[in-house]
Structures are given as structure tokens and as C-alpha cells.
Amino acid sequence: MNDELLRAVAERQWRDYCARTPGTLFAGAEEPPFDVADAYAVQRAVADIRLAGGDTIAGFKVGCTGPGTTTQFGMAGPIRGFLFGSEIRSSGTTLAPDGFASLAIEGEMAVSIGESGAIVSAFPVIELHNFVFRCRRKTLAELIANNGFNAGIIMARGRSALLETMIPAWNTLGVRINGSLVAEAGLWPLPGGPAASLDWLRGDLAREGLSISPGQIVIVGTPLGLYPVHPGDRIETCLDGVSVVACSVEQPALRPSE
């Protein structure tokens, strides 16, 4: 993809994202008009547009690794995406449903990176997604060009102070929606734990001259699935059945005639 086309595609992707109609470029196509390498170039070009507008990179996501999402999507990663500072929300947030396209969530673990590059804390999050595949066939290229469908994350308040010394004691990660347990599994999607996800991410970023900076966070993927949510829903990510991070989807007010 030449520079002029890349810029045009990235600008369209960003306009679509802002309009809550992500990825219209892919609508109706059998497959994306470019490969995985170009999809990552588009992802980075959109990130550059966001940075030029004053946003920040809060970290990265690793996705499409656990059995839940690989089965659900019918394809295996890993893939990666950016996390943006403007889309980090605190536990207890109420989400406006019209701020997303086909809002869906994942419960997963994240890690914080210290000065030495080592993990200094680990904590559960709720990842928000614009869950829209537009090509007739699901592909990694569409997923990557849309930044892994990421639309932000919900983080527990005081996560490091609360959890950095407690994580080894926890065994299971779960998602509850409206008080009902949707799924539960071990904490990590890969057998090597968070280190396996980080090792892959560092190697993949290095190929493009990128790296993880101290203070950034990485969501390392989920062993669970991706779950659509709707107005009025309450979502919780749990450790051993204990709710640690939560959010709600706003229920639109009824019109007087209703």
C-alpha cells in the first residue's frame, strides 16, 4: 500500500470510528482489500492521527489467543492493538449505548509494566468492543485494521495498591452480566501466562520499531469469550467469584408517549 492510499484509508477509518460506524471500507466485500501487514500499517496510521489530535497511547492489547475468542471468530491470532488514554474508564462507569457500535465486552487480565520492563502489577479489566465484522468472511486483516475492535477499557480504582500482591492467590477469572455468571476459566489465555503474551507482543512490536514503555499497561487476552451487551445491562469481571471491576450500560429514558 503506497503512502497516499494508506493516508486515505486511515483517515476514512478514523472518520468511521468517530461516527460510530467503524470499518465501512470492508462492507460487502468477500475479503479485505489488503493483507495483515497492510492492516497493521493502517492501524498505526490511525494511531498517528489520534496522537496528532492530542490522544496518548496508554498501552497495548493482545487478542485472539484464548479458546473462547478463537472458536467464536473461527481464526487464531495473536493480534495486537493500541490502547488510548482517552478511552480508559474507571470501574462504576455508566456507558452510553449510542457511543458504540454493537457494544460487546471481554473480561480479561491486564498487567502494568515497570521501569525495568518487568510486570509490576496484574489486575482484571473489562475491555469494550465495537463488535462489527463487515466482510462476508471474518479475517485477521479486518480485525487488525479496526484495532482489534477495541473501544476502551474499564479499570478498577486503586488497582495496583489493591491487587499487585494479591494476584498469585487468585485462580479464576469470570464475567457476570446482570448478576448471572456467563463464563469462568483460569486467569490467562496462554499456557505460559502473561509472560507468553508479553514476549509475543514485544517481538511483534520490535518488527515495526515500537516498544512497550514503563507505565504502560497491556491487556494480555482472555480465556473467555466476547459477549454482546445491551442497554440496562450491568457487567462485572470477577476473581474467584468476587466482583473487582464493573460498569453498566445506560437504559435510554422512555419518551412521554411510551
List, in order, residues 6 or more apart from 195 with CB less than 8 Å away: 119
Q: How confident is the model at residue 121 (pLDDT cuts 50, 70, 90)?
A: confident
Domain membership of residue 194 (yes or no) is: yes
Residue 254 has pLDDT above 90, yes or no: no
- Report yes or no on 258 lying in a domain: no
Provide the number of structural domains found in the chain.
1
Domain membership flag for residue 254: no
pLDDT at 120: 86
Whole-prediction pTM: 0.91
Does the N-terminal peptide bond of residue 78 adopt cis geometry, omega within 30 degrees of 0? yes
Residue 194, domain CATH: 3.90.850.10
- Residue recorded with cell 497516499: 4
Question: Does 69 fall in a domain?
Answer: yes
At 116, phi and psi to the nearest 5? -85, -5
* 14, amino acid identity: W
pLDDT at 141: 94
pLDDT in tens, 42-94: 999 999 999 999 999 999 999 987 665 656 666 667 999 999 999 999 999 99
Helices 3-18 and 36-52, axial angle in degrees (round to 10): 60
Dist. CA 227–CA 129, nearest whole Å? 9
Question: Which residues constitute the domain of residue 109?
Answer: 3-249
Q: For residues 176 and 236, is the Cβ–Cβ distance under 8 A? A: yes
Between 194 and 70, the more confident residue is: 194
Q: What is the pLDDT of residues 12-22, one digit of tens each?
A: 999 999 999 99
Q: Report the distance separating Cα 67 and Cα 222, nearest Å.
A: 9
Looking at residues 213-223, what average pLDDT do you find?
93
Cell of 80: 495486537
Residue 233 CB contacts under 8 Å (≥ 6 apart), including other chains: 177, 178, 248, 249
Does residue 255 lie in a domain region? Answer: no
The pLDDT value given to residue 165: 44
Q: Are the CB atoms for 81 and 43 separated by under 8 Å? A: yes
- What share of the chain in percent tops pLDDT 70? 88
More confident residue, 231 or 71: 231
In a domain? residue 150: yes
| Nearest to 175, CA basis, from 225, 221, 233 | 225
What are the pLDDT digits (tens) for 126-177? 999 999 999 998 899 999 999 999 999 999 876 444 444 445 567 899 999 9
Residue 14 lies in a domain: yes
Q: Rounded CA gap, 109 and 222, in Å? A: 7
In a domain, 170, yes or no: yes
Calculate the average pLDDT of the chain.
Answer: 90
Q: What's the CA gap between 151 and 103, in Å, rounded? A: 9
Q: 156 versus 237: which is more confidently predicted?
A: 237
